[in-house]
Structure 1
Amino acid sequence: MKNTILLVEDEEGLASYVAKELTFEDFDVLTATDGAAAWKIYQQKKDRLLLVLLDWMLPKMDGMEVLRRVRKHDELPVIMMTARDYLGDKVTGLDNGADDYITKPFEIEELLARIRVIQRRTAHQSGLDQTYHLGDLTLVTKTRQVDRAGDTIQLTQREYDLLLFLMQHPGQVFTRDELLDNVWGVDFLGQQNVVDVYIGYLRNKIDVAAAPHLFHTVRGVGYSLKEDEVHEH
């Protein structure tokens, strides 16, 4: 299993502390102190990486630009580290493909919990090789390709995870807490409304006007994904 983390942080004390703690937890750690160096390491080592811990404010190339470049190539998990505690910044990070964010200062236990969620998800996905159908929506786990009515839909890592879980349980209604536990992980320490945000993202990409809507809100309960027929190869 991939066990290398790319840590991108220009604050030397914090970078040293986090790297030491991650090493203690048996991760291999690659470090970069600016965005340009991070991008170079990513290009050279991406096949080894489990995830990237990426600071927002960096010299030479900011974290958001690094994230955008990574997302043009693959869906490698990225956790943004930021001193900004403004909701708009967090939404910007998520919109650009970040899987999670953690606000500095943070406890190392919280960071480790978020990393464990990604580890579990990666291990689970590596063992899957299936195709799911829901009406004209298709998801292929081996290639991570999602199509609707023949059109390929680009999803972020978290959007894909949420859609996969719902397609694995067609017609079932899940509460926000159940979706958080199953998709984000029981260690997730963020806000519950992140589920609403991601259901909204998926609706905007998948529930196009000309086709039947697949995402359904059950008032007072949660969400379900359903149509007439679902089957699995």
Structure 2
Amino acid sequence: MSHVEGRRVLVVEDDAAIRELLHLHLGLAGFSVEDIGDGRDALDVARAQKFDLLVFDVMLPGLDGISLCRAVRTAGVNTGTPILILTARDSEADIVIGLDSGADDYLTKPFGVRELQARVAALMRRTQPDGADPTTPPSTVLRLAPHVTMDIDRRQVLVDGAPVDLTRQEFDLLHQLVARRGIVFSRARLLQTVWKDDAYVTERTVDTVVSRLRKKLEGDPRQPALILTAWGVGYKFADAE
């Protein structure tokens, strides 16, 4: 995990052992860590104090982590702060609901230190300066892979230097994933952001568009290296090399 001296993280976890583990390793990464074991107490803190990262367990006393995500995204000083949720390995529904409620990524318990480091590092790489649009990359021309580039302003994608024809939905979905590469998007969240108010599309539509994109961009669509599946949840674009 890259060193992030001076940044603050709020850890909300009622299991003392896990809370101590998070406190230790986030502290070693340079974060100033505040940890709380109750969701309702955490909401008061999260609405009053600015943090650079929020880590919420899903199962919390006082106020559960999903409700905490929604509340933080609604009001206070952390409406745009990255949120990492922690959930049990067999709780796919919690993961989907959490991502749709405003969380940016998730860790399933039990998790390893390296996995924690990777998820936090990915979230921190996507932290934008104050006032910046978090969905807009700083450059209009992005290198997605050695053989793939994306020109945001021209709405053009090149594979091995040759332009590839993409539909509006294909380009917008790709842009959404690339703008926060490494972060998992649920199918429902992609529907909301790419198709918005179109009532005639379903989550299966997302799978279809991803399949088409893979055929156009991947060396082997059956073993994708760019647009990756988060099983039971949705999709993400591969982390930058």
TM-score with structure 1 setting the length: 0.63
- Report how far residue 36 of structure 1 moved: 1.1
94, 102, 105: which one aligns with 2:99: 94
Where does 1:6-45 land on structure 2 (aligned, <5 Å)?
6-45=10-49
61, 83, 89: which one aligns with 2:88: 83
Separation of aligned partners in 2, 1:65 and 1:198: 17
Separation of aligned partners in 1, 2:47 and 2:120: 22
Which residue of structure 2 aligns with residue 184 of structure 1? 181
Q: Aligned residues: percent identity?
A: 30
Which residue of structure 2 aligns with residue 63 of structure 1? 65
From the superposition, tell whether residues 31 and 161 of structure 1 become closer, same or farther in structure 2 (CA, over 3 Å): farther
From the superposition, tell whether residues 30 and 96 of structure 1 become closer, same or farther in structure 2 (CA, over 3 Å): same
Amino acid paired to 1:50 = D
| Unaligned residue ranges in structure 1 (runs of 5+) | 128-141, 145-156, 210-214, 224-233
Where does 1:129-140 land on structure 2 (aligned, <5 Å)?
none
Given that residues 8 and 38 in structure 1 are in contact (C-alpha distance below 8 angstroms), is that contact kept between their aligned partners in structure 2?
Answer: yes
Q: Is 1:221 aligned to 2:216, yes or no?
A: yes
Which residue of structure 1 aligns with residue 112 of structure 2? 107
Separation of aligned partners in 1, 2:56 and 2:132: 26
Which residue of structure 2 aligns with residue 171 of structure 1? 156
| Unaligned residue ranges in structure 2 (runs of 5+) | 143-149, 158-163, 165-169, 201-205, 219-241
Given that residues 180 and 195 in structure 1 are in contact (C-alpha distance below 8 angstroms), is that contact kept between their aligned partners in structure 2?
Answer: no
Separation of aligned partners in 1, 2:19 and 2:74: 26
Q: Is 1:4 aligned to 2:13, yes or no?
A: no
Separation of aligned partners in 1, 2:61 and 2:41: 10
Deviates more, 1:10-19 or 1:200-209: 200-209
- Report how far residue 201 of structure 1 moved: 3.0
What is the root-mean-square deviation in Å for CA atoms of aligned residues? 3.7
From the superposition, tell whether residues 178 and 97 of structure 1 become closer, same or farther in structure 2 (CA, over 3 Å): closer
Deviations 1:200-231 (A, max 9, x none): 3322327799xxxxx994452269xxxxxxxx
Deviations 1:49-79 (A, max 9, x none): 1111000000111111111110102121111
TM-score with structure 2 setting the length: 0.61
Amino acid paired to 2:82 = P
Given that residues 81 and 103 in structure 1 are in contact (C-alpha distance below 8 angstroms), is that contact kept between their aligned partners in structure 2?
Answer: yes
Separation of aligned partners in 1, 2:82 and 2:153: 22
Work out the number of aligned pairs and report it.
Answer: 179
Deviations 1:20-42 (A, max 9, x none): 11111111100010101111211
Which residue of structure 2 aligns with residue 52 of structure 1? 54
Separation of aligned partners in 2, 1:66 and 1:184: 25
Separation of aligned partners in 2, 1:15 and 1:79: 14
126, 129, 149: which one aligns with 2:129: 126
Deviations 1:72-114 (A, max 9, x none): 0212111110115232221111111110111010001111111
Higher relative helix content: 1
Given that residues 87 and 94 in structure 2 are in contact (C-alpha distance below 8 angstroms), is that contact kept between their aligned partners in structure 1?
Answer: no
- Greater relative contact order (Cα < 8 A, sep 6+): 1
Separation of aligned partners in 2, 1:171 and 1:11: 48
Amino acid paired to 2:43 = W
Q: Is 1:202 aligned to 2:193, yes or no?
A: yes
Separation of aligned partners in 2, 1:109 and 1:169: 38
